[in-house]
Amino acid sequence: MKKGIKTSGSFCSFEAGLLAGVVEKLSDRHCFAQEVGCALQSNEDHCKFMVVIQKD
Closest to 35 measured CA to CA, from 19, 13, 2, 54: 13
- pLDDT at residue 30 in the model: 93
- pLDDT at residue 36 in the model: 86
In a domain, 30, yes or no: yes
pLDDT tens profile 2-52: 666 565 555 677 888 888 999 999 999 999 888 888 877 778 777 888 999
DSSP track, the chain? -------SS--HHHHHHHHHHHHHHHHTS-EEEEEEE-HHHH--SS-EEEEEEPP-
Q: What is the pTM of this model?
A: 0.64
In a domain, 42, yes or no: yes
- pLDDT at residue 14 in the model: 80
In a domain, 7, yes or no: no
In a domain, 41, yes or no: yes
Task: Domain of residue 39: give its range.
Answer: 12-53
Letter for the amino acid at 52?
Answer: V
- pLDDT at residue 3 in the model: 63
